[in-house]
Amino acid sequence: MRKLKWAEPFLATQSVIVRNCDELAGQWRRLLNQEELHVEIGSGKGDYWIKMSELYPNAGWIGIEKNVNVAAIALKKVENCEHLNRRFIVDDAQAIDSWFAKDEVDVIHLNFSDPWPKKRASKHRLSHASFLKRYEQILKPEGKLIMKTDNVKLFEFSILEFQNNGWLLDEFSVDYRRDEHPEDVITEYEHRFMELNQPIYRAVWHKA
């Protein structure tokens, strides 16, 4: 998206953003005063991170978005809100295993991640093996990773990538929204696909 002139100055004023994340590894539960920790990678414009943190106020929610302009739009939505159970990281998740301690995270969420459709760009996909190795380090033994996407090719790639790297599949759906799921909020982005009768693909894994 186009560069927003106000984005960086605005982000510099936002206390919900965590900087020097590696200094907080192992301390996130204390920071948020919560026992359960959710991390959404690629939070985009923030709807899922915001609404889920409101739906589950007794869990901690960390949103991660590397695009400064998109992150600014997300944080504009909660500019004057309390952030007792949520924080935001504006950075590339390549370093995620240095931001969280081993076994610190309960759930990782990948929602409508960039599919990076060209084969040579597959290493950038958030379900690529290089990322899975990082997730293995920070997820607790009984922790899980939940993925949703509208992109069938990304979904197929991800199913094989998790399988080939020893992850165990717990849930699988090729039309997740055919049933009601009040426990999982529907963002504006997801709703657009539902209106077009586009199936939503979803899977849940845990590390072996």
Coil, helix or strand for 11?
helix
SS3 at position 143: strand
The phi and psi torsions of 205 (rounded to 5 degrees) equal -125, 160
Task: Say how far apart CA 59 and CA 106 lie, in whole Å.
Answer: 10
Q: Which of 114, 150, 170, 179 is catalytic?
A: 114
Letter for the amino acid at 154?
A: L
Which of 122, 136, 134 shows the shortest CA–CA distance to 166?
Answer: 136
* Residue 114 known to be catalytic: yes
Residue 77: both structure tokens together = 């939505």
Contacts 24+ apart (CB under 8 A), 129-134: 129/161, 129/164, 129/165, 131/93, 132/161, 132/162, 132/165, 132/167, 133/165, 134/93, 134/94, 134/96, 134/97
Catalytic residues: 114
